[in-house]
């Protein structure tokens, strides 16, 4: 990473510090605009941030309706969510009331056994939340943010943030709220891209999972564990593996990097020659805890 100049920000959503160290730049991988964003390291807590800071209203313009996907078949939902469901099954909770924060169109919740789980979702995207409500019920899906909703104390057995915490401007406040609504001793699950992974280090602004500007904060195991401990949780399970995300992210990052280096025959040939080894190489790196996806289960203490 390239240490550059210090800059001012209005306040880190993890520690409140206002000084950051600029690292590199990134463009919107969805090509919503030609804007360039800065990835910076907070001088207070070391977490990586996307700058400039944006309000939720400003960020909404970078989420096209299709960001959450259309209406797939039930078989596709079960298949696509099997990795998440398997992780949940290995945690300490075996049923009860579950809340998925940033539930999108509700695919994860819809993949769960409704005989074991009373399923709730909250989603800031209006189109996605309406889609989820059609399957899960209007009384079980809320449009808006977790902090705005105001669930009762100790209401849930499990709270999940599947690829959601990195999207919020207030990660600490969201985890504090999650602790308030979780029963003592019950489980929080957080999945985020791993900014300490080899992919992040190699590709920097071209890293597919960076997803600027939608991802506001970029976590490593160290920064996430510390934040969880500070907000009332104790991590008890961790994995850097994801069949759904890791090798796909590597393939797309390579494609972006090759495109950035020109569309010469040599770069195209390198990309196609690399395809057969992408998955085995990534599996090897993931086995070294270098995987691009970080998923943790933490107990409310």
Q: Where are the domains of the chain?
A: 6-54, 65-241+295-300, 246-285
pLDDT value at position 5?
58
Mean pLDDT score, 205-217: 97
pLDDT of 4-45, one tens digit each? 556 777 899 999 999 999 999 999 999 888 899 999 999 999
Cross-strand partners of 188:
159, 298
pLDDT value at position 67?
75
Helix (H/G/I), strand (E/B), else coil: 59: helix
Bridge-based pairing of strands 36-42 and 48-51 is antiparallel
Tell me which DSSP letter residue 98 carries. Answer: E
What percent of the chain clears pLDDT 90, i.e. is strictly above it? 82
The sign one gets for the Cα dihedral 272, 275, 276, 282 is positive
Mean pLDDT score, 258-278: 79
pLDDT of 243-266, one tens digit each? 999 999 999 999 998 876 655 777
With contact defined as beta carbons under 8 Å apart, do 194 and 291 qualify? yes
pLDDT over 80 at 148, yes or no: yes
pLDDT of 46-78, one tens digit each? 999 999 999 988 998 898 877 766 788 999 999
C-alpha 2/C-alpha 65 separation (Å) is 35
| Residue 294, φ and ψ in degrees, nearest 5 | -110, 125
pLDDT of 178-203, one tens digit each? 999 999 999 999 999 999 999 999 99
Q: Which pair of structure tokens corresponds to residue 97?
A: 């009331």
The sign one gets for the Cα dihedral 50, 55, 61, 65 is positive
The sign one gets for the Cα dihedral 83, 88, 89, 94 is negative
pTM equals: 0.94
* Angle (CA) 233 235 236, round 5°: 130
Q: What is the mean pLDDT of the chain?
A: 93
Neighbours of 2 (CB within 10 A): 7
pLDDT value at position 7?
72
pLDDT over 70 at 221, yes or no: yes
Q: Which CATH class is domain 65-241+295-300?
A: alpha beta
């Amino acid at each position: 990473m390239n240490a550059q100049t210090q800059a001012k920000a209005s306040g880190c959503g993890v520690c409140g510090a206002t000084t950051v160290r600029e690292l590199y730049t990134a463009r919107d991988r969805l090509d919503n605009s030609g804007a360039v964003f800065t990835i910076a390291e907070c001088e207070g807590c070391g977490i990586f941030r996307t700058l400039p800071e944006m309000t939720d209203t400003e960020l909404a313009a970078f989420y096209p309706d299709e960001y959450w996907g259309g209406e797939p078949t039930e078989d596709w939902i079960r298949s696509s969510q099997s990795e998440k469901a398997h992780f949940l099954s290995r945690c300490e909770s075996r049923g009860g009331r579950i809340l998925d924060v940033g539930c999108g169109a509700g695919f994860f919740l819809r993949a769960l056994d409704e005989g074991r789980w009373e399923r709730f979702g909250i989603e800031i995207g209006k189109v996605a939340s309406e889609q989820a409500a059609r399957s899960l019920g209007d009384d079980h899906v809320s449009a808006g943010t977790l902090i705005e909703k105001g669930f009762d104390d100790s209401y849930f057995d499990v709270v999940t943030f599947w690829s959601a915490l990195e999207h919020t401007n207030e990660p600490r406040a969201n985890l504090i709220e999650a602790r308030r609504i979780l029963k003592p001793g019950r489980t929080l699950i957080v999945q985020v891209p791993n900014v300490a992974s080899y992919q992040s280090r190699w590709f920097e602004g071209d890293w597919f999972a960076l997803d600027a500007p939608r991802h506001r904060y970029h976590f490593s195991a160290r920064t996430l564990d510390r934040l969880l401990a500070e907000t009332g949780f104790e991590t008890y399970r961790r994995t850097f593996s994801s069949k759904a995300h890791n090798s796909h992210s590597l393939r797309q990052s390579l494609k972006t990097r090759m495109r950035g280096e020109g569309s010469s025959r040599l770069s195209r040939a390198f990309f196609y020659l690399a395809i057969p080894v992408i998955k085995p190489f990534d599996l090897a790196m993931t086995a070294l805890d270098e995987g691009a996806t970080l998923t943790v289960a933490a107990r409310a203490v």
